[in-house]
Amino acid sequence: MWQQLYASLDDADFMVVAIAEESRGAESARPWIEQAAPGYWALIDKDHAVAALYGMVNVPQAVWIDEAGRIVRGPETAGSTDHFRRMDRATKTLSPEDQAARLAARTAYMDAVRDWVRTGRYAQTPDAVRRALPAITAEIAQANAHFRLGLWLREQGRVTEAASHLREATRLHPESWNMWRQAADLEAIGNAGGEAFWARVQALGDKPYYPPPDLPGFRAGTSST
């Protein structure tokens, strides 16, 4: 969907910057990037530095940045919804209604981006952006440090030590699905897409996995569980 968005704005001096948070490095991210065949920039962030700087806790999340380098919308869910939580896990399928609702939400998000690029609509004021940016607490700062240390230890072959730091990172910052998913993928705490993931999702209760952005098409009904 990002390639379609980028192509639809090719006359507007607009760029999509996709960042793969992949601690295993370029070779692990390469198949996904090559499959997408993007015309836009695709970068690889081994250290998850971008997520730490912007306060991103899940994927896909996006930040809107204007031509002057100012953030005009802080990190928010980029077109995804919680309809997946009703997926038939045996067949990995959604009902036709949920498929249609999910597609409608993605389309609404892409339309909002186009509208912003063309007209400036949906851009927030600097004060609104500051209020919306996630606060970096002492626990989150410590979690980022443990996470980076865990990744470094793995690179040194010290896997057992690394696992303890990755677990501590996700304990200190439980809202970060990015940290949890990467740690799970590195076999520190289990299968990132298996039973541990679904148990964690179910533990959210009524809390959304993908908090809907404050945009048309997301204010009601698109964060269903």
Hey, where are the domains in the chain?
2-132, 138-202
Q: What's the pLDDT score for residue 3?
A: 95
| Cα–Cα distance, 40 to 14 (Å, whole number) | 9
Residues in the chain, pLDDT under 70: 188-193, 219-225
One-letter-per-residue 3-state SS of 78-138: CCCCHHHHHCECCCCECCHHHHHHHHHHHHHHHHHHHHHHHHCCCCCCHHHHHHHCCCCCH
Q: What's the pLDDT score for residue 111?
A: 97
Count CB atoms within 10 A of the CB of residue 185.
Answer: 17
Q: What's the pLDDT score for residue 218?
A: 83
Q: What is the pLDDT of residues 95-141, one digit of tens each?
A: 999 999 999 999 999 999 999 999 999 999 999 999 989 999 999 99
Q: What's the pLDDT score for residue 194?
A: 86
DSSP codes joined into one string, 141-179: HHHHHHHHHHHHHHHTT-HHHHHHHHHHHHHH-TT-HHH
Which residue in the block uniquely carries the two structure tokens 């186009």?
114
pTM for this predicted structure: 0.90
Q: What is the CATH number of domain 2-132?
A: 3.40.30
